[in-house]
A and B are shown apart, each in its own frame.
Chain A
Amino acid sequence: MDNDLLLHRIHFAFTITYHYLFPQLTMGLALLIVVFSFLTYRRWEAEVKGLDHFPRDQWPDNIALLYYSYHIMVGLGTIFIAIMAVATWLLWRRKLFQSRWMLWILMVSFPLPYIANTAGWMTAELGRQPWLIHGLMRTRDGSSHMVSSGNSLFTLLGFMGLYTVLSMLFLLLMYRHLERGPEAPTATGQRFETPVY
């Protein structure tokens, strides 16, 4: 009986969270469609064609991933606008460095641009499929025929390995810099960038 209750509570929490986030994302998308359709066609009455207007063989491969990437990017973008608007207002009122809650929000949201950026690129590259050059060349026609898949796999693994090592190096350096904290300013107020231990 207890297990059932717990399961139901978890289910309820997920449902509420999802329904809380989803309408905002959709409403944001609706506003963007209006704005962009105007920018694209320069008329309020222009029709933006949905996916069902295009033949099936011209659809991108992974529509769900594309959809969520786009919404994540736009949702985060909206959040950034809100955060920065409030932060700018506080800065203008010279209250920014005293409002701990705002400083916390700013600090905690530092990974969000990376996520938004990646989601945006995923949107672009997933959304362009199946076209490499829209209307002219499909992705599968653009690959080098002479380069066998074994070579591609070799270089893909090579890059993954190299980037993994570089990411670890990056994290190490970031951690050490953060651990050190900001430099205490000298008597003249200058700060010098010195290597960390």
Chain B
Amino acid sequence: METLWFVIVAFLLTAYVVLDGFDLGAGAVHFLIGKTERERRATFQAIGPVWDGNEVWLVVAGGVLFCAFPRLYASSFGGFYLPLMIVLWLLILRGVGVESRSQFINPVWRTFFDFVFSAASILLAVFFGAALGNVIRGVPLNSDGYFFEPLWTNFRTTGQVGILDWYTVLTGALALLVLSMHGGLWMALKTDGEINTRARKIAIRLWGPVVALTGISLAATIYVRPQALDNFRLYRWGWLIPIVVVLSLLGIFIYSRKGSDLRAFLASSVYITGMLAGAAFAFYPYVLPSSTDPGLGLTISNTAAGAYGLKVGLVWWTIGIVLALGYFTFVYRHFAGKVTLEGEEH
């Protein structure tokens, strides 16, 4: 039952990264894709109807975490207090940027809020990558299962660790590149003409660095956390995941060169899913490893809620996810197709 909930939480977080990832990515490459005021509208036509719903997957993941693994929620939200608050502010600023930009027909106003939107998107991508890096590297848990990390200490991954050290900055950079590429592929999918060409070119240009950093961060992960390979030795079917990652990377390159935008975007989604699934697979059953003493790490067994709660929660979650997926399919079907620059302002 705990394993099932582990998979559910991993699924929800992956869904969030794939979905809000393209919003953040579109924001990150916003100024590179849209050179004029008219062209910049394309970004908001493309993500306008869906960005809010995409962000909700993060709320769902947090809520499910609270329900299924309350001790993990308690420990990590206290320990990651500072970056979580900063992420909150960035999410607010990103949303304000999207919704306020078209309130006044004034170039200074629009450019200012475009900048807020883009900067917040870039920083969010970095922070989310760093957050994952923190979880993989481990945190200084005490015997009660609590910790607190300052924003940075000495940038080393051992001893007194901070939120930012060389490893988490690396994962943050990888996240930024991956999400920018992902966002670029979404923009290519949703636009045509000049903007489509530009978005695709950006995505292709980012592909090389993404591949390079994927390899480097994989090596760094094994260096920082040698236990990551244990599950791969135990369960041989886990090797499917890196194979999927490599294939999806190839897919991104081939499809975007050919101009099959939908396939390229789907390949990118598969890549992100593969990377996150690999991470979840690698550190199962740990949910938050300890950087000091391995015995103090939080696992699914010592953080899960009671069996009755997990069972009841599963019933409600199933009902909820069916509703959510139904509505999700409806919205994306309704807004499918290319966006036009002449359409109504979002």
Q: Quick one: CB contact mask for B150-183 with A, threshold 8 Å, 1 for yes?
A: 0000000000000000000000000000000000
Closest CB in chain B relative to A134 CB, distance in Å: 19
Q: Are B81 and A147 in contact (CB under 8 A)?
A: yes
Give the residue of A144, A146, A197 whose beta carbon is less than 8 angstroms from that of B104.
Answer: A197
Q: Which B25-73 residues have a C-beta within 8 angstroms of A?
A: none
Segment touching A, from B95-103, B197-205, B226-234: B95-103
Q: Are B104 and A196 in contact (CB under 8 A)?
A: yes
Give the number of residues in B that approach A within 8 Å (Cβ atoms): 21
A147 contact set on B, CB distance < 8 A: 78, 81, 148
Q: Which B113-150 residues have a C-beta within 8 angstroms of A?
A: 146-148
- Inter-chain CA distance A144–B149, complex, in Å, is 13
- Inter-chain CA distance A195–B104, complex, in Å, is 6
Closest CB in chain B relative to A175 CB, distance in Å: 12
Q: Quick one: CB contact mask for B78-119 with A, threshold 8 Å, 1 for yes?
A: 110110010001001100100010111110000000000000
Q: Quick one: CB contact mask for A150-182 with B, threshold 8 Å, 1 for yes?
A: 010011001100100010010001001000000
Q: Are A151 and B92 in contact (CB under 8 A)?
A: no
Q: Are A162 and B81 in contact (CB under 8 A)?
A: no
Given contacts A169-B100, A197-B105, contact A144 B78 (CB under 8 A): yes
Give the residue of A145, A151, A166, A196 whose beta carbon is less than 8 angstroms from that of B103.
Answer: A196
A146 contact set on B, CB distance < 8 A: 78-79, 146-148
CB-CB nearest in chain A for B92: A162
Closest CB in chain B relative to A113 CB, distance in Å: 23
B100 contact set on A, CB distance < 8 A: 169, 173
A-B contact count (CB 8 A): 45
Q: Are A145 and B146 in contact (CB under 8 A)?
A: yes
A197 contact set on B, CB distance < 8 A: 104-106
- Inter-chain CA distance A195–B96, complex, in Å, is 16
Closest CB in chain B relative to A152 CB, distance in Å: 8
- Inter-chain CA distance A196–B148, complex, in Å, is 47
Give the residue of A145, A158, A166, A176 whose beta carbon is less than 8 angstroms from that of B96.
Answer: A166
CB-CB nearest in chain A for B75: A146
- Inter-chain CA distance A96–B171, complex, in Å, is 63
- Inter-chain CA distance A197–B106, complex, in Å, is 8
Closest CB in chain A relative to B97 CB, distance in Å: 11
Give the number of residues in A that approach B within 8 Å (Cβ atoms): 18
- Inter-chain CA distance A166–B345, complex, in Å, is 22
The majority secondary structure among interface residues of chain A is: helix
A159 contact set on B, CB distance < 8 A: 89
Q: Are B345 and A169 in contact (CB under 8 A)?
A: no
A155 contact set on B, CB distance < 8 A: 81-82, 85
Given contacts A146-B147, A162-B92, A173-B103, contact A195 B78 (CB under 8 A): no
- Inter-chain CA distance A155–B93, complex, in Å, is 15
- Inter-chain CA distance A60–B77, complex, in Å, is 28
- Inter-chain CA distance A146–B145, complex, in Å, is 11
Q: Are A151 and B96 in contact (CB under 8 A)?
A: no
Given contacts A166-B96, A169-B96, contact A144 B103 (CB under 8 A): no
B102 contact set on A, CB distance < 8 A: 195
- Inter-chain CA distance A151–B102, complex, in Å, is 36
- Inter-chain CA distance A169–B89, complex, in Å, is 16
- Inter-chain CA distance A195–B99, complex, in Å, is 12
A176 contact set on B, CB distance < 8 A: 103-104
B92 contact set on A, CB distance < 8 A: 162, 166
A148 contact set on B, CB distance < 8 A: 148
CB-CB nearest in chain B for A177: B103
- Inter-chain CA distance A114–B74, complex, in Å, is 33
Closest CB in chain A relative to B40 CB, distance in Å: 15
- Inter-chain CA distance A162–B102, complex, in Å, is 20
CB-CB nearest in chain B for A194: B345
CB-CB nearest in chain A for B146: A146
- Inter-chain CA distance A169–B79, complex, in Å, is 33
9 pairs of A and B residues whose beta carbons are closest in the complex:
A144-B78, A146-B148, A155-B85, A147-B81, A146-B146, A146-B78, A195-B102, A147-B78, A195-B103
Q: A144-B78, A176-B104, A195-B104 are in contact. List 20 more A-B contacts (CB 8 A).
A: A144-B81, A144-B146, A146-B78, A146-B79, A146-B147, A147-B78, A147-B81, A151-B81, A151-B82, A155-B82, A155-B85, A158-B89, A162-B93, A166-B96, A169-B100, A173-B100, A196-B103, A196-B104, A197-B104, A197-B105
9 contacts between A and B (CB under 8 A): A144-B74, A146-B147, A147-B81, A151-B82, A158-B85, A176-B104, A195-B103, A197-B104, A197-B105
